[in-house]
């Protein structure tokens, strides 16, 4: 099983962090800080709980005057030899203790995000003053650093994974659109990726807005637009939305037949792989573009089956031709999904349309 992400907040990291802080702030009590971080509760804490706990421990041993603490943290982060996810404690400090110090905190987030994303921290400021923070996002969207430009779009996603909810942006995403317009043709791949993610978030609550924007961008010279379009529309495609399918050149009613669906083994254990295959036959006299997905209907603790769509491939099928599709699906345990024993279902989905199903049984290890 992959190591839990929370383990990135570990003793080697905090020892390095403590050393960097003590170098610029000799009064920092390294030993007491580490002891307070790794207290009796540490092992049981989840990912963000570890981050917040470490931030509160930092606050105990830094100057309580917020401006002084930020100066120390800015100098300290530059001394760290390696940077990664655990550096989020720096921006988390700003989120927890800096909401009343806007003029200090916004430059601090701009600085820290260039070492590790401040996307979680900026949500607190969006909740505090949406209009003011979105105005700042427009400024950041034109920043020289692609890390800051990335924050401008990733930080205001209506449905940022693991991030605080910003209900106002779910209800009305219009403040986000000017930011996306600035960044839609950004030279950095990661920034354009975040633009697409933001549009996909918007599509979950307001499909017409995302569809309208993609339609408007069709006639513009946007770098890697095919990628942006596919990623922005991915949720609507999984739902079989006809307008989204049309924007990608896929028919919502492909002229095909699905046959010979097999799945082995019919009883599988957690940790094993499930192998399946099927045949697609065209019943059309013209070529057709197919987006081929499959759905695993997972058993839940309450006995209900919950579907999850998985991407398989995109292919063009010739008139009256057949395609033989083979795939393996792993039921290896992961930290983001728990498997429950019982009947599961495999379902084939093509161009958003559901076709044939097959049941199989998942047992415990």
pLDDT digits (tens, 9 = 90+) for 239-289: 889 899 999 989 989 999 999 999 999 999 999 999 999 999 999 999 999
pLDDT digits (tens, 9 = 90+) for 68-115: 999 999 999 999 999 999 999 999 999 999 999 999 999 999 999 999
Burial of 237 (0-12, 13-18, 19+ CB in 10 A): buried
Element at 343 (helix H, strand E): strand 342-350
**For the whole model, what pTM was predicted?**
0.84
Tokens, residue 51: 């981050």
At 1 the pLDDT is 53
Q: Domain 256-363 class?
A: mainly beta
At 2 the pLDDT is 62
d(CA 282, CA 291): 14
pLDDT digits (tens, 9 = 90+) for 33-69: 999 999 999 999 999 999 999 999 999 999 999 999 9
Confidence band for 342, pLDDT divided at 50, 70 and 90: very high
Angle at the Cα of 307 from the Cα atoms of 301 and 313, rounded to 5 degrees: 140
Is it true that the peptide bond before 148 is cis, omega within 30 degrees of 0? Answer: no
- Asked whether the beta carbons of 270 and 362 are under 8 A apart, the reply is yes
In the block, tokens 């992400």 appear at: 5
Buried b (16+ CB within 10 A) or exposed e, 105-129: bbebbbbbbbbbbbbbbbbbbbeee
């Amino acid at each position: 099983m992959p190591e839990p992400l929370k383990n990135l907040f570990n003793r080697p990291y905090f020892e390095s962090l403590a050393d960097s802080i003590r170098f610029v702030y000799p009064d920092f009590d390294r030993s007491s800080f580490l002891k307070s971080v790794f207290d009796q509760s540490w092992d049981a804490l989840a990912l963000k709980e570890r981050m917040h706990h470490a931030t509160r421990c930092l606050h105990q041993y830094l100057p309580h005057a917020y401006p002084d603490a930020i100066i120390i943290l800015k100098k300290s982060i530059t001394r760290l030899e390696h940077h990664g996810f655990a550096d989020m404690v720096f921006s988390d400090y700003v989120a927890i203790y800096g909401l009343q110090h806007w003029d200090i905190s916004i430059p601090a987030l701009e600085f820290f995000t260039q070492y590790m994303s401040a996307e979680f921290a900026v949500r607190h400021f969006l909740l505090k003053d949406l209009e003011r923070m979105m105005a700042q996002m427009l400024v950041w969207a034109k920043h020289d650093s692609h890390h800051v430009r990335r924050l401008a779009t990733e930080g205001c996603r209506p449905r940022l994974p693991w991030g605080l909810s910003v209900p106002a942006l779910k209800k009305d995403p219009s403040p986000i659109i000017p930011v996306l317009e600035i960044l839609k043709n950004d030279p950095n791949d990661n920034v354009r990726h975040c633009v697409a993610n933001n549009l996909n978030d918007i599509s979950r609550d307001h499909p017409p807005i995302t569809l309208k924007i993609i339609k408007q961008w069709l006639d513009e010279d946007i770098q890697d637009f095919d990628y942006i379009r596919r990623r922005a529309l991915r949720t609507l495609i999984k739902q079989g939305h006809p307008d989204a399918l049309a924007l990608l050149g896929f028919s919502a009613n492909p002229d095909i037949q699905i046959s010979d669906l097999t799945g082995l083994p019919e009883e599988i254990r957690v940790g094993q792989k499930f192998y399946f295959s099927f045949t697609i036959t065209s019943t059309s006299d013209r070529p057709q573009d197919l987006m081929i997905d499959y759905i695993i209907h997972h058993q839940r603790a309450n006995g209900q089956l919950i579907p999850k769509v998985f991407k398989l491939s995109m292919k063009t099928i010739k008139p009256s031709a057949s395609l033989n599709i083979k795939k393996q699906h792993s039921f290896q345990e992961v930290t983001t999904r728990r498997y429950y024993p019982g009947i599961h279902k495999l379902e084939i989905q093509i161009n958003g349309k559901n076709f044939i199903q097959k049941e199989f049984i998942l047992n415990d290890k």
